[in-house]
Amino acid sequence: MTAYIAFGSNLGERDRYIETAINALNDVDGCVLISRSSLYETKPLGFQSDNAFFNAVACYETSLAPEELLQVTQDIERSLGRTQKSVDNVYHDRTIDIDILDIEGVTRHTSTLTLPHPRISERRFVLEPLCEITPDMIPCGKNTSARQMLDALNNDTVIERVTSDMLTPEVQQALLNLLPQLSSAPPKVLPAAAFIHDTLQIYIIRSETRDICGMLTLNFAPCLTGTKCWIEDVVIDRNARHRGYARKLLRYAISVAKNKRARKILLTSRPQRVMANKLYQSMGFQARETNVYQMILGE
């Protein structure tokens, strides 16, 4: 049977713990490693911790019964320093966590094992590495593939305009964390005036867990030839890229500009930002043959 196993660690040498666990399962009689994903770094889900997780998924061919496979994974966990499993959704830091996601053709609903894993469709840290090795895999008894489950998570986003009355410490900190990923000289403090003028509009995008994972700003300028709109500060958190968030933010910004009756939308992007430039071009933005000048006026 084909079995898909998830591995996670947020303590100590996280990559070594996962590597050791994957190989330990491969060394068990009746288990053969077929493929494995890269490591994905994610925030803890379901509890507060300063320790981020590394996550991976591996595929095995196994002749073990599901209960035997569960016992083997728990033995490996104990050998790597995990002394207790999560109970009643109470989670904690751990050196290693091993979950059986799915065994081809097998369902289980017992006090110790549920197959497929009941929360597989809700967990990005499982679906992203799973899609890397088998995007078309459909868990036993389900009717949607791993890719479709991940797409559903990517679609469960919220875009909001940041106004002065919603500028909470959480939002401020999220913006200050995003801007250094875009600029080598980010502001240390956000100017309050930026959130009260209608000509400058700041938008954020939240993931399915409602974490702020991206932003952009719209700048409107009424001109004699019609209102122009500049898109600036487009940045997606490095741990949330390749999910389509930037495209969603841009589409939203374009709709806002149209409602404001802007005549054109302008943006600039450094040539080194290859993926960003490809995205803009794919959405209909065209490079202009013009010189761009700037004058630095000081602090």
Query: Tell me, what CATH number does 24's domain have?
Result: 3.30.70.560
Residues 142 and 230 in one domain: no
Cα 155 to Cα 147: distance, rounded to the nearest angstrom: 12
208: domain CATH number is 3.40.630.30
Q: Which of 14, 36, 97, 237 is catalytic?
A: 97
Number of domains the chain is built from: 2
Tokens of 170: 């959480």
Same domain, 117 and 6: yes
Q: CA triplet 198, 201, 207: central angle to 5 degrees? A: 145
Domain match, 224 and 243 both = yes
Active site residue 99: yes
Q: What would the two tokens of residue 82 be?
A: 């995990």
Determine the pLDDT at residue 198.
85
- Residue 58 domain flag: yes
Query: Domain span at residue 39?
Result: 2-154
Q: Among 14, 36, 82, 243, which one carries the catalytic annotation?
A: 82
Judgement on whether residues 77 and 140 belong to the same structural domain of the protein: yes
Cα separation, 4 vs 130, in Å, equals: 8
Is 156 a residue of the active site? Answer: no
pTM: 0.79
Query: Which residue among the candidates 14, 36, 94, 243 is catalytic per the annotation?
Result: 94
Q: Are residues 88 and 134 in the same domain?
A: yes
Q: Is 82 a catalytic residue?
A: yes
Beta bridge partners of 31: 62
- Domain stops at, among 131, 154, 177: 154
pLDDT per residue rounded down to tens, the chain (299 residues)? 999 999 999 999 999 999 999 999 999 999 999 999 999 998 888 788 889 999 999 999 999 999 999 999 999 999 999 876 665 566 788 999 999 999 999 999 998 899 999 999 999 999 999 999 999 999 988 899 999 999 999 999 999 999 988 888 999 999 999 999 988 888 888 887 788 888 999 999 999 989 999 999 999 998 999 999 999 999 999 889 889 999 999 999 999 999 999 999 999 998 888 999 999 999 999 998 888 888 988 76
What is the predicted pLDDT for the residue at 82?
80
Does the annotation count 94 as an active-site position? yes
